[in-house]
Amino acid sequence: DAGVTQSPTHLIKTRGQQVTLRCSPKSGHDTVSWYQQALGQGPQFIFQYYEEEERQRGNFPDRFSGHQFPNYSSELNVNALWLGDSALYLCASSRRTSGRKSYEQYFGPGTRLTVT
């Protein structure tokens, strides 16, 4: 049973460029959340996708956008990259359900983005 996968592992981009990061959720999961983790800090919530729609959004500008596909995989797009966008981007998947294990959320290994 594959866990959450993310691609690419590392990425180097130049200021002003655009980037797309990809995430495949754990088997059986239908909800994907994206987080940005700057060096030495905790992850910050970017947004969450369920049923191919953005359901909740954190305090991030419109340069950050996303998409969820019918197979539940997701993309994070960042336009007009800034130096400050350099961070580890984490994807987390979960399943919208009630019950004992409804809190479970699994994280992928992350994509480390460097903007020069």
Partner 1 sequence: AQKITQTQPGMFVQEKEAVTLDCTYDTSDPSYGLFWYKQPSSGEMIFLIYQGSYDQQNATEGRYSLNFQKARKSANLVISASQLGDSAMYFCAMREANTNAGKSTFGDGTTLTVKP
Contacts with partner 1 by CB under 8 A lie at 31, 33, 35, 40-45, 48, 50, 55-56, 58, 88, 90, 92, 94-98, 102-110, 112
Q: How far is the CB of 31 from partner 1 (least distance, A)?
A: 6
* For partner 1, the closer CB: 52 or 80: 52
Closest of 62, 87, 80 to residue 17, by C-alpha: 80
* For partner 1, the closer CB: 90 or 115: 90
| Alpha carbon distances (Å) from 83 to 1, 46, 73, 109 | 37, 17, 27, 22
* For partner 1, the closer CB: 43 or 66: 43
* For partner 1, the closer CB: 48 or 68: 48
Say if CB 18 and CB 11 are below 8 A apart. Answer: no
